[in-house]
Amino acid sequence: MTFEKVVVGMLETKDSQVAHLLRRTGYLATRQTVNEWRDRTMEEIIDQLLDMEQPAPVPPVVPEEEKKNGKAQLQLWWLATMRDTANPLLEQMTLFWHHHFTSAFYKVKRESLMAKQNVLLRKHALGNFREFVYEISIDPAMMVWLDSQTNVRKSPNENYARELMELFALGIDHYSEQDVAEAARALTGWKIDPNSEKAVFFARLHDSGSKTLFGKTGNYDLRSTVDRIVEQPACAMWIAGKVWSSFAYPNPPEEVIRPVADEFAKSGYEIKYLLRAIFTSKEFYSDRAYLAIVKSPVEYVTGILRAFPRLAMKREEAVLYGLTMMGQDLLNPPNVAGWPGGTAWLNSSMLLARYNFAEAFAHLVPLDDVPRQSNRRDDWVDEVLDRLGLLYQISAATKNQLLSYVNRHHGDNPALLRGLLHLALVSPEAQVK
């Protein structure tokens, strides 16, 4: 069997646009998947992707004697969820929110709280942003992460209030020091009940005095503080800009973000409307967007796991070690701003870690799992690329290099296939989406 020619270039054809949308929404853009979707209009595809049924996978409860291993168990569970999910966009967005509303194991420590937060991130991943902010503010892992438990009337702790404005909702320069101090007061009084591990409100620890937020004085509590922050015009812009940068291309100009932010605000901060505005915009399919996003290590690895689910978790430790070396210890971001992302994933050591992960994978993968429908060794290039979901994004130049590798290869077929897998995965195209 040979493949018909795939047109590769910027996003000019319907197929390339479908493949682009699939890559960005967490799917493996194989020929088969593209063919399944191609006959619908782009609008129909987008709506279908957004409105897909949302599963609610349940994280494992780690037994007491395995607590030491709790982080690894939860990481592996999430990676398996990303690999197996019927709704990749939901996991893609859950991961986005983990990058955004960060919390890290190294401070939170309890895997039960991190697991609970993961469920919350998924619950709101495509939901309402205002409601999301309200609930994440009293999410136990977040409360440990940003010291909300010590935020009490007598001695407010500003940590959460500051990050809420700076990183989670508004961006720097859109609030004053006074806003931070006043919001901290408004958010006092929440503690984690150690038995239920749920947030509880203690009126006696809450500062019920009047506060001034963004120039408006009132008796703010958690909900009205969140409302006041979310309704700042900077909020829709900040979130729209951040989602755009993760799904379309980095550093978008203001005029591109403005209409998306407007849609988002108009919808009452519905995340689905925000995504729809991005995916339906012409700019999303522009040259500037083509391959413009560097895959995070988790995306890079889950891409491989999706393509080879049978290999998947057999070498669990190697997968987690590889991710850490690539710079992404999942559920354990370096600080509250999350992973720097973008081209920061391409620093020398992290890139070498990707290449070496790909090498180890190619070395170990059972070959009966590697496609080889054609007898012509030349055809294996396309077969391997398609299996990895890279067929629609490999440049002619890179494909020529892979073909020339095949032609120079005098070893046996298994060695050639392993070499091809390794090279396809280290290709420049495989680092981006």
What's the CA gap between 218 and 183, in Å, rounded? 11
CB nearer to another protein: pick between 39 and 147: 147
Span 141-160, contacts to another protein by CB under 8 A: 147, 150, 152, 154-155, 157-159
3-state secondary structure of 141: helix
Tell the smallest beta-carbon distance from residue 34 to another protein (Å).
20
Which of these ranges, 56-64, 264-272, 304-312, 417-425, lies near another protein under the rule CB under 8 A?
Answer: 417-425
Which of these ranges, 70-78, 219-227, 297-305, 330-338, lies near another protein under the rule CB under 8 A?
Answer: 330-338
Judged by CB under 8 A, the residue of 292, 313, 332, 379 near another protein is 292
CB nearer to another protein: pick between 90 and 169: 169
Which of these ranges, 19-27, 126-134, 211-219, 391-399, lies near another protein under the rule CB under 8 A?
Answer: 391-399
3-state secondary structure of 404: helix
Binding flag, residue 256, another protein (CB under 8 A): no
Q: Is the dihedral of CA 38, 42, 43, 48 positive or negative?
A: positive
Closest CA relative to residue 271, chosen from 118, 96, 142, 116: 96
Tell the smallest beta-carbon distance from residue 390 to another protein (Å).
12
Span 340-379, contacts to another protein by CB under 8 A: 340, 343-344, 346-353, 355-356, 359-360, 363
Which residues pair with residue 198 across a beta bridge? 193
Binding flag, residue 432, another protein (CB under 8 A): yes
Which DSSP helix (H) or strand (E) runs through 98?
A: helix 88-100
Size of the site for another protein (CB under 8 A): 59
φ/ψ (deg, to 5) at 291? 55, 25
CB nearer to another protein: pick between 126 and 426: 426
Binding flag, residue 39, another protein (CB under 8 A): no
Binding flag, residue 54, another protein (CB under 8 A): no
Alpha-helical (H) ranges within 311-433 are 316-325, 348-364, 379-387, 396-408, 413-426
Which tokens sit at 361? 């994978």
Binding flag, residue 80, another protein (CB under 8 A): no
Binding flag, residue 40, another protein (CB under 8 A): no
CB nearer to another protein: pick between 237 and 274: 237
Helices and strands counted in the chain (H then E): 21, 4
CB nearer to another protein: pick between 57 and 338: 338
Binding flag, residue 408, another protein (CB under 8 A): yes
Tell the smallest beta-carbon distance from residue 347 to another protein (Å).
4
Binding flag, residue 162, another protein (CB under 8 A): yes
Judge whether 269 and 236 are in contact, CB under 8 Å.
yes
3-state secondary structure of 55: coil
Q: How many other β-carbons are positioned within 10 Å of the β-carbon of residue 289? A: 21
Closest CA relative to residue 105, chosen from 404, 390, 330: 330
Judge whether 244 and 252 are in contact, CB under 8 Å.
yes
What's the CA gap between 159 and 179, in Å, rounded? 13
Alpha-helical (H) ranges within 217-286 are 222-230, 233-247, 254-266, 271-279
CB nearer to another protein: pick between 258 and 288: 288
- Tell me 287's DSSP state: G
Which tokens sit at 238? 């900040």
Binding flag, residue 204, another protein (CB under 8 A): no
Binding flag, residue 328, another protein (CB under 8 A): no
Residues 6+ apart with CB under 8 A from 316: 72, 76
Tell the smallest beta-carbon distance from residue 121 to another protein (Å).
22
Binding flag, residue 311, another protein (CB under 8 A): no
**Interface positions with another protein (CB under 8 A):** 147, 150, 152, 154-155, 157-159, 162, 166-167, 172, 177, 287, 290-292, 294, 325, 334-337, 340, 343-344, 346-353, 355-356, 359-360, 363, 395, 397-398, 401-402, 404-405, 408-409, 411, 415, 419, 422-423, 426-429, 431-432
